[in-house]
């Protein structure tokens, strides 16, 4: 019984802070909802408010999914016991759906809410274009130096990846956590391009919330897997 309780405690390490920080971000979004034009517009039969809820729900579902899968696999090998050698592929399949839905949903929200951000159209598109560059460099760096499997968290599933050195090539020379620093700029691009107040708030939430994942889930896991903070 004590062993089972220890496993449960390990799975939930950092999650009280996760809940508190998510609640705090929720309060910030409620305050942001008072901004002019925040819920104006609709697209594909859905209101801006509906698209915004979908953005937030998908982000929360994605990060809770990763937390639960990572921790169950790290502390119990539960997914491997169920799916065998297909465990990572099963996890990665659903991960892929959730991660790709994030920019798609922010784009749909930004289209629905287009023109509500009080900024010059040409300036907003210049900002969007500038943000494309680090995102593109990151995508190249992940493919060249890091690999999709490591980006998805295969070190929780396969111990063979754990002795690999930290990546310091490409954009990872600037920061070891380039995926969170630069990758989530992808969500800001449609928000600026379409000048969407709701899109900006959604992108800000998503970018802040991925750092909640880092602090409360990934960082503690890296300390177990590598004995130090080896994010990247």
In a domain, 232, yes or no: no
Q: At a CB cut-off of 8 Å and minimum separation 6, what does 162 contact? A: 155, 225, 226
Token pair of 158 as six digits: 């396969």
**Residue span of the structural domain in which 8 resides:** 2-225
> Residue 2's pLDDT is what?
62
What is the pLDDT, as a whole number, of residue 232?
Answer: 43
- Asked whether residue 149 is assigned to any structural domain, the reply reads yes
- Specify if 219 maps to a domain: yes
Instruction: List, run by run, the mean pLDDT of 10-residue segments along the chain (232 residues).
Output: 80 98 98 96 98 99 98 97 97 98 99 98 98 98 93 95 87 92 98 98 98 97 80 46
pLDDT of residue 149: 95
Contact between residue 2 and residue 66 where contact means Cβ atoms under 8 Å apart: no
Q: Is residue 62 part of a domain?
A: yes
R_g of the chain computed on alpha carbons: 19
The whole-number pLDDT of residue 228 equals 65
Whole-Å CA distances, 86 to 74, 82, 157, 231: 16, 9, 10, 25
pLDDT at position 167, please?
A: 85
Is residue 231, in this structure, part of any structural domain at all?
A: no
If one counts the domains in the chain, the total is 1
**Position of tokens 């989530």?**
184
Query: Is residue 175 within 8 Å of 181, Cβ to Cβ?
Result: yes
Separation of alpha carbons 22 and 171, rounded Å = 29
* Chain CA centroid to CA 38, Å: 23
Asked, for residue 230, whether it belongs to a domain, the answer is no
Q: State how far the Cα of 99 lies from the Cα of 95, in Å rounded to an integer.
A: 6
pLDDT at 129: 98
Structure tokens at 75: 């502390």
Largest CA distance in the chain: 63
Asked whether residue 148 is assigned to any structural domain, the reply reads: yes
Instruction: Please give the pLDDT value at position 1.
Output: 60
Considering the domain boundaries, does residue 183 fall inside one? yes
SS3 192: helix
Q: What is the pTM of this model?
A: 0.93
């Amino acid at each position: 019984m004590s062993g089972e309780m220890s496993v449960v405690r390990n799975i939930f390490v950092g999650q009280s802070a996760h809940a508190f920080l998510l609640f705090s971000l929720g309060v910030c979004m409620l305050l942001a909802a008072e901004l002019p034009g925040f819920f104006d517009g609709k697209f594909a039969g859905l209101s801006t408010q509906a698209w915004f809820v979908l953005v937030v729900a998908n982000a929360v579902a994605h990060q809770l999914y990763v937390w639960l899968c990572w921790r169950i696999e790290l502390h119990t090998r539960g997914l491997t016991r169920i799916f065998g050698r297909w465990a990572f592929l099963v996890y990665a399949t659903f991960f892929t759906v959730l991660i790709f839905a994030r920019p798609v949903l922010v784009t749909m929200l930004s289209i629905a809410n287009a023109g509500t951000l009080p900024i010059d159209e040409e300036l907003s598109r210049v900002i969007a274009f500038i943000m494309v560059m680090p995102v593109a460099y990151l995508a190249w760096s992940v493919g060249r130096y890091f690999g999709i499997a490591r980006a998805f968290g295969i070190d929780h599933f396969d111990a063979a990846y754990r002795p690999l050195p930290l990546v310091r090539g490409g954009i990872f020379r600037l920061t070891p956590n380039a995926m969170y620093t630069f990758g989530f700029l992808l969500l800001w691009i449609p928000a600026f391009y379409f000048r969407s107040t709701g899109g900006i708030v959604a992108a800000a939430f998503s970018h802040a919330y991925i750092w909640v994942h880092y602090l409360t889930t990934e960082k503690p896991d890296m300390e177990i897997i590598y004995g130090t903070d080896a994010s990247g």
